[in-house]
Amino acid sequence: MKTDYHIHTEFSCDSEAKMEQYVKRALERDIRMLCFTDHVDLNPDDYGYNYYNPEKYFEAFRKVKEQYGEQLTICSGIEFGEPHLYADTLKRLSAYSYDFIIGSIHWIGNMFPCQKVREQYSAKEFYTLYWKEVLSTVKQGGFDALGHIDFPKRYYGEIYYVESELREIFNRLLDKDRIIEINTSSLRKGHSETMPGKDLLQIYADCGGRYVTIGSDAHVEQDVGADYETAKMLAEGIGLRQVVYRERKRVEVEW
């Protein structure tokens, strides 16, 4: 079953796409399940700071689900940035009727892996700081899946890690019965592998990871479901299973 569990709409600061546009494109591409996971950004340096409005989001969500809900499964979600730093807000938002919450690290303090930061920090230096933030957010929890775990790769074009540190992250994540996503957006940025790629997914599997969600991280409707087959083949090759979330509960679905 073709799914897309990471999609941004007009309720994210960096998208103007309407939910209905995504649904129509998904039906054309035989995508059977969608989840709209708009950004919740609370870092004051992020230009999406406090942009998200859950009431407006759910108003639009209910309309599109009422209109198209018999044709495909439409789910609600958020991508919450730096969960360990804003645990109270995450708890408050979790009271809404979301099906799925992604936890992601985009910022390290006031640093985003933009060109200015890349000129000051090598990939190794930035990743060393980044993995510490990822571990902190995994320890905190409060989300269902960890988003694009090797996110700086999208900007640096490379990855650095110490395997023992990654194993600690994955073990902590799995101890809380949480999983990771395979995010395909890096392929549209000219990179050769998904986030994460084969090596990290294998370490995840070696630690006992069994499940993944698949998300395009689309910000325009043309990208919905993008490179799903690539992610599917990668996951299948490692022995990982595809899941979705309904009412914050994990549901295994067939490929």
CA-closest candidate to residue 14, choices 39, 45, 44, 50: 39
At residue 147, the pLDDT reads 98
pTM: 0.98
At residue 224, the pLDDT reads 98
Evaluate whether 3 touches 31 at the Cβ level (below 8 Å). yes
At residue 249, the pLDDT reads 98
Give the mean model confidence (pLDDT) for residues 201-224.
Answer: 98
Evaluate whether 102 touches 147 at the Cβ level (below 8 Å). yes
Burial class (CB in 10 A: 0-12, 13-18, 19+), 28: exposed
pLDDT per residue over 3-47, tens digit each? 999 999 999 999 999 999 999 999 999 999 999 999 999 999 999
pLDDT per residue over 120-144, tens digit each? 999 999 999 999 999 999 999 999 9
At residue 161, the pLDDT reads 98
Distance separating alpha carbons of residues 49 and 45, to the nearest angstrom: 7
Q: What is the overall mean pLDDT for the chain?
A: 97
Give the mean model confidence (pLDDT) for residues 73-100.
Answer: 98
At residue 3, the pLDDT reads 98
For residue 235, what pLDDT band results from cuts at 50, 70 and 90?
very high
Task: Work out the number of other CB atoms within 10 angstroms of the CB of residue 97.
Answer: 11
At residue 71, the pLDDT reads 97
Does residue 113 have a cis peptide bond before it, meaning omega lies within 30 degrees of 0? Answer: no
For residue 192, what pLDDT band results from cuts at 50, 70 and 90?
very high
Give the mean model confidence (pLDDT) for residues 217-230.
Answer: 98
For residue 238, what pLDDT band results from cuts at 50, 70 and 90?
very high
At residue 83, the pLDDT reads 98
The single residue listed with the structure tokens 């759910």 is: 58
